[in-house]
Amino acid sequence: MARTCLVFDTAANISNNQFDDVYVIPLLITEVIDGKIKTYRDGVDIDGKTCLEKLIAGQCLKTAQSIPKDVVDLMDKLSVEYDEVFFIPCPLQISNQYNSMKLICADYKNVHVFKQNMLANFTLWTLEDLLDLNKKGKLTADYIQKYLDETQFAKAGVLNVPDFRYLKRGGRVSAFKAAMGSLLKFKVSISYADSGLVMFDKTTNIKKIPAICEESFKAAIPNFSMSKINRIWFGTSGISDEKFKIDEIMALMKKYFKVDKKVKVYEGPITSVITAHTGPNYVIVGVGCDPKVLKINKK
């Protein structure tokens, strides 16, 4: 059986040495200190806790693609050690990382770069499924592409952000919208699915947020219903300002999305490269479904 490995970047909720034959390439986080840009490799030079502390202290953090030399060094090593290398970078909808990685890896005959539409815990779910395929001896480039095609419409998430400061810094909303949103005490629900990040809805009443999330899932996942969920993810940063009622929103989410015991439940924050744009005050809920149960027929 061919020896294979999987490669991701730090937009995924995966770290190096967490799984056998799975490698993670750091994306970049930058900040300006005394007029000079300082660059950190995510997960190497800076961790999630430090990133949050910098954001809370008022630092403006930005993100960038991986350093090409890091990628080349890793691929030089893996392309020799493994028969096949499968690289799944972060989605094209939020970064040009895929196109850059495709170009960098073009000269490696046994390195395959895949386009996909998920990040954070959604990518962890992808990894879990691919590791199952590997146990069955089915981890090939064709099978991975088939899996990504079949599952791309079966996962979706909603990022609920009541704090507009970081969305403004990250360029997600204009200064005017941020000021008005803060004045009116809006909580914005940003959906994430195959089409990327989309401002789905807004409300001033936190009790309405779970129902907004369900409507977002119905819009993103064909034939969606709560009974078809087989994975669910609840996420917060673990560090937030009490005035934004993050804990209360999360409690409402867990009560509303009370799932069957057979459903796999995941809890944890989004990755640092996403938190750099959202800030620490957020609640995310993500769901995954079996495409066969959904009876999706999309290409």
* Residue 134 confidence (pLDDT): 85
Q: Is the sign of the CA dihedral 154, 25, 11, 196 positive or negative?
A: negative
Q: Are strands 155-161 and 187-193 parallel, antiparallel or unpaired?
A: antiparallel
Amino acid making up residue 112: H
For residue 53, the surrounding DSSP H or E stretch is helix 48-56
Q: How far apart are CA 36 and CA 281, in angstroms?
A: 27
Phi, psi at residue 190, to the nearest 5°? -105, 115
What's the gap between Cα 28 and its chain centre? 15
pLDDT digits (tens, 9 = 90+) for 69-103: 999 999 999 999 999 999 999 887 778 899 999 99
Q: Are strands 4-9 and 28-33 parallel, antiparallel or unpaired?
A: unpaired
How is residue 299 annotated by DSSP?
A: -
* Residue 176 confidence (pLDDT): 44
Q: Half-sphere exposure (CA, 13 Å, Cβ side) for 174?
A: 3
* Residue 189 confidence (pLDDT): 61
Strands (E), 107-182: 111-113, 155-161
What value does the mean pLDDT take over residues 258-279?
86
| Distance in Å from the first CA to the final CA of the chain | 30
Residue 52 vs residue 138, higher pLDDT: 52
What value does the mean pLDDT take over residues 269-294?
87
Q: Taking Cα atoms as reference points, which of 238, 244, 94 lies closest to residue 165? A: 244
Q: Is the pLDDT of residue 50 over 80?
A: yes
Lowest mean pLDDT among 53-57, 173-177, 197-201, 218-222: 173-177
Residue reference for tokens 């998920």: 118
Phi, psi at residue 141, to the nearest 5°? -60, -40
Q: Percent of the chain having pLDDT more than 70?
A: 86
Contact of 141 with 149, CB cutoff 8 Å: no
pLDDT digits (tens, 9 = 90+) for 101-135: 999 999 999 999 999 887 778 889 999 999 988 88
Q: Taking Cα atoms as reference points, which of 79, 82, 139, 87 lies closest to residue 109? A: 79
Q: How far apart are CA 5 and CA 255, in angstroms?
A: 39
Q: Is the pLDDT of residue 242 over 60?
A: yes
What's the gap between Cα 273 and its chain centre? 9
Q: Taking Cα atoms as reference points, which of 25, 49, 48, 51 lies closest to residue 38? A: 51
pTM of the model: 0.87
Contact of 86 with 4, CB cutoff 8 Å: yes
Lowest mean pLDDT among 76-80, 193-197, 234-238: 193-197
Q: Is the pLDDT of residue 153 over 60?
A: yes
The confidence band for 244, taking pLDDT boundaries of 50, 70 and 90, is: confident
